Amino acid sequence: MVFGHPLIIKSNTMEYKTLAMIRDSIINQLKPLANSDVDIQEEWIEDVIDDARGALVRTLFNARDDFSGWYQTIDLEASDLKSTVINGYEYFFRNPVSVVTLPGPLMQGLGQKNILYFGAHGVDTLNMQRASMREFQEYEYHRFGAGLPCYMLDGDKLYIRNTGRRRYFKLSAIFSKPTCVPGYDIDNSDYPLPISLHNRLEIVVFQHLASKMNLPVDKIPGNPDETRIGDMNQAMRASQQESRMT
C-alpha cells in the first residue's frame, strides 16, 4: 500500500517546474511550425517528456553525474508473505518476509541508483542493504546474513526481511513515470528533474516531436552538447522500449 503525498528531494539552490509547464512550453514551440489541422495531444507530449527524462538520466548515469533532484519520496505499507512466484518459480520462505507494491516501475538502466533510500518509517538509522535475488534467498540460511535487514526489488515489488514488526517504510526512488506516484499533480507538483536540465530536456523533446511531425528542426537554437549527454536518439529509443514493456 502506498500513502501520503510525493516529495521531491531538493537542493536549496534549485528551482523546479511542473510537468504541465514543460508540456505547454513545448506545445507553444511546436504550434508556429505545425499546420493548423495538426492535433497536438497533451498526453502524447507528456509521455515523450517522460521518455526524454529517462534518456537523460541514463546518459548522466553513464557519465557518473550527481543525481540530486531526480528522486521522489513516498511512504509504503508492507504485508506479510510466506511464498511468492518470481520468474515462473514459486519460492517458500522459512521465516515470513514482508512485501510492498510500488505505485509504478522504477527507472531501469541505473544500477542501484534508482533507489536512494529505503528504510523503516520513522527510523532513519535503519538503512537496509539492497540484495540480489540470490542473496535475498541465501541470507535466510546464512550464519551472519540471517539477521541482516535487507530488501530485494523484483518488478513493482519490494521484498523485505529482518525488520521486526515494522509495517511502514519510506522510499526515495526514481520512477519511470513520475505521475504514477499517488498525489502527483501535473499542474502543481514539481517535476523531478534538476532545473539545469530543463532546457536540455525541452530541446530533446522538441527535436523528437518535430521529427515525428515532419517539422523543420535545422534552425533550433541551443542544441545540447552531445559529448556530454551521449547519443540521445539511442537513449530515447531505450526509454520508449522500457515504457512499452511496463
- CA of 183: how far to CAs of 136, 146, 198, in Å? 32, 37, 23
Residue 186 carries which side chain, given as an amino acid letter? I
Lowest mean pLDDT among 6-10, 138-142, 210-214: 6-10
Contact 128, 152 (CB under 8 A): no
State the chain's mean pLDDT as an integer: 77
Contact yes or no for 97/160 (Cβ under 8 A): yes
What per-residue confidence (pLDDT) applies to 77? Answer: 92
Is the pLDDT higher at 84 or at 156? 156
Bridge partners, 154 (sequence order): 157
Q: Which residue has the cell 535545422?
A: 218
pTM (predicted TM-score): 0.77
pLDDT of residue 173: 94
Q: Which of 18-22, 53-57, 148-152, 238-242 has the lowest mean pLDDT?
A: 238-242
Domain range list for the chain: 10-69+185-245, 72-173
pLDDT of residue 221: 46
The x, y and z cell numbers of residue 42, run together, are 497533451
Four-CA torsion 58, 64, 65, 66, nearest 10 degrees: 100
Grid cell listed for 173? 526512488
User: Which ranges in the chain belong to alpha helices (H)?
Assistant: 19-30, 42-62, 133-138, 198-212, 226-229, 232-245
Q: Is the pLDDT confidence value at 151 over 80? A: yes
All cell numbers assigned to 111: 544500477
Query: Is the confidence at residue 7, as pLDDT, over 60?
Result: no
Q: How far apart are CA 121 and CA 170, in angstroms?
A: 5
Q: Is the pLDDT of residue 139 over 60?
A: yes
